[in-house]
């Protein structure tokens, strides 16, 4: 059903990088995510954005369509980007995979007028600690006095349409932001001047409200992923699934279910899974795997459809007995042809790692 699902031999497959959006409250995280979700090819067409449980998949075709000349799709072999829908560094710092961050890459949203704020600093500390590559979206550029909004266009095009005065004001603010990044030990520059993203953080002027610069954010994320995450994205997609619990919820008709972001392998409807909990890890048999129906069908049908298998990277709902004590942020592992004890131990070790580092927002 999903793009990542294949029936072929289990050779390494490149999965979609998982993206988190972080930043201070009100700096525009939700608006940016909404803008990315809204800037879509008509549903059902090739390259349409798809809604997952807790995440949104933006295929490479959509990125290149939005980004126009910024992106040559033949430069990329990663399939696109999977954005976690819950913005904020609380979800980011508690969602871990193998002790690292669940997200492979991040967008740090900073209001250009407001600059660095307490939660910006918290976010940047977490990014530093987890060694997560990120791009800075210098947001709300449309609020610069005299700004002439341009819509969903690459930033250079928008820049060219501004008065000298508006451009100068924006540049001043961007350089202040670059200075603040330097104060926190990140050498940064406007993204189009960055030659080596391993040493420099790219700053992308954006307006989540008008869409200006949003194509550039997607482009830089694709470029960073391709350059620095390609090896990490090579997975045995047919192998036993591994993921992280986003939420534990009652699902009508199915009892307690967990929302999961899967970052490795496949989970099948007949699998046994081990799930981290407040007590001993839960060992249980999948009752149903659920994914959202395409929007077009939502009115007439139930919101979710049952599927036979889901492959990484993806968001899905797993319904199974005994999930009441499952814990948000905890690992989920498919047992498949391994011993239960081995998988339970893996989950316990991962939980121990989370236990010492879990943070409150």
Q: What residue ranges bind ligand GDP (CB under 6 A)?
A: 23, 25-31, 87, 139-140, 142-143, 207-209
Rounded least distance, CB 123 to ligand GDP, Å: 11
Q: HEC states along the chain?
A: CCCCCCCCCCCEEECCCEEEEEECCCCCHHHHHHHHHHCCCCCCCCCCCEEECCEEEEEHHHHHHHHHHHCCHHHCCCCEEEEECCCCHHHHHHCEECCEECCCEEEEEEECCCCCCHHHHHHHHHHHHCCCCEEEEEECHHHCCCCCCCCCCCHHHHHHCCCHHHHHHHHHHHHHHHHHHHHCCCCEEEHHHCCCCCCCEEEEECCCCCCCCHHHHHHHHHHHHHHHCHHHHEEECCCECEEEEEEEEEECCCEEEEEEEEEECEEECCCEEEECECCCCEEEECCEEEEECCHHHHCCCCCEEEECEEECCEEEEEECCCCCCECCCCEEEECCCCCHHHHHHHHHHHHHHHHHHCCCC
What's the closest the beta carbon of residue 42 comes to ligand GDP, in angstroms? 25
β-pairing, 105-111 vs 134-139, is: parallel
Nearer to ligand GDP, 140 or 333 (CB): 140
Closer Cβ to ligand GDP, 211 or 265, answer by number: 211
Q: Which is nearer to ligand GDP, 85 or 350 (CB)?
A: 85
- Using the minimum distance from each CB to ligand GDP, give the nearer residue, 142 or 350: 142
Nearest approach, Cβ of 145 to ligand GDP (angstroms)? 12
Q: Which is nearer to ligand GDP, 25 or 296 (CB)?
A: 25
Give the shortest CB-125-to-ligand GDP separation in angstroms.
Answer: 18
Between 217 and 257, CB nearer to ligand GDP: 217
In the complex, least distance from residue 348 CB atom to ligand GDP, rounded to whole angstroms:
35
Work out how close the CB of 227 gets to ligand GDP at its nearest, in angstroms, rounded to a whole number.
Answer: 27
Least separation in angstroms between residue 139's CB and ligand GDP is: 5
Which is closer to ligand GDP, CB of 112 or CB of 320?
Answer: 112
Give the residue with the Cβ less far from ligand GDP, 22 or 326: 22
Closest approach, Cβ 197 to ligand GDP, in A, equals 24
Q: Which is nearer to ligand GDP, 213 or 240 (CB)?
A: 213
To the nearest whole angstrom, how small is the minimum distance from the Cβ of residue 208 to ligand GDP? 4
Which of 60, 136 has the CB closer to ligand GDP? 136
Q: How far is the CB of 244 from ligand GDP (least distance, A)?
A: 22
How far apart are alpha carbons 122 and 74 in whole angstroms? 37
- The residue number with the shortest CB distance to ligand GDP is 28
Is 298 strand, coil or helix? helix
d(CA 214, CA 198): 22
**Of 272, 270, 255, which Cα lies nearest the Cα of 319?**
255
Whole-angstrom distance, CA of residue 150 vs CA of residue 327: 44
């Amino acid at each position: 059903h999903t793009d990542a699902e294949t029936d072929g031999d289990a050779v390494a497959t490149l999965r979609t990088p998982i993206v988190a959006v972080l930043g201070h409250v009100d700096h525009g995280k939700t608006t940016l995510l909404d803008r990315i979700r809204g800037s879509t090819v008509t549903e059902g067409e090739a390259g349409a954005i798809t809604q997952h449980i807790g995440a949104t998949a933006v295929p490479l075709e959509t990125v290149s369509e939005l980004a126009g000349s910024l992106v040559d799709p033949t430069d990329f072999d990663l399939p696109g980007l999977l954005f976690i829908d819950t913005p904020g560094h609380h979800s980011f710092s508690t969602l871990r995979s193998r002790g690292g961050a669940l997200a492979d890459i991040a967008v740090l949203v900073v209001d250009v007028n407001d600059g660095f704020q307490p939660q910006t600093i918290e976010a940047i500390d977490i990014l530093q600690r987890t060694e997560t590559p990120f791009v800075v979206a210098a947001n709300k550029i449309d609020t610069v006095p005299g700004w002439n909004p341009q819509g969903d266009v690459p930033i250079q095009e928008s820049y060219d349409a501004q008065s000298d005065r508006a451009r100068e004001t924006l540049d001043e603010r961007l350089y202040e932001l670059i200075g603040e990044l330097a104060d926190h030990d990140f050498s940064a520059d406007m993204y189009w001047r960055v030659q080596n993203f391993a040493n420099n953080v790219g700053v992308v002027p954006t307006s989540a409200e008008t869409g200006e610069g949003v194509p550039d954010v997607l482009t830089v994320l694709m470029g960073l992923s391709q350059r620095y995450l390609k090896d990490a994205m090579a997975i045995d997609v047919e192998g036993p699934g591994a993921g992280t619990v986003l939420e534990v919820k009652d699902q009508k008709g199915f009892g307690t279910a967990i929302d999961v972001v899967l970052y490795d392998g496949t989970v099948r409807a007949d699998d046994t899974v081990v799930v981290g909990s407040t007590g001993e890890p839960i060992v249980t048999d999948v009752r149903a795997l659920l994914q959202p129906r395409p929007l077009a069908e939502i009115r007439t049908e139930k919101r979710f459809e049952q599927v036979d298998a889901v492959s990484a990277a993806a968001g899905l709902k797993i319904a199974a007995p005994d999930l009441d004590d499952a814990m948000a942020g905890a690992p989920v592992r498919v047992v498949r042809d391994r011993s239960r004890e081995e998988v339970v131990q893996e989950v316990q070790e991962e939980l121990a790692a989370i236990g010492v580092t879990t943070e409150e927002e």
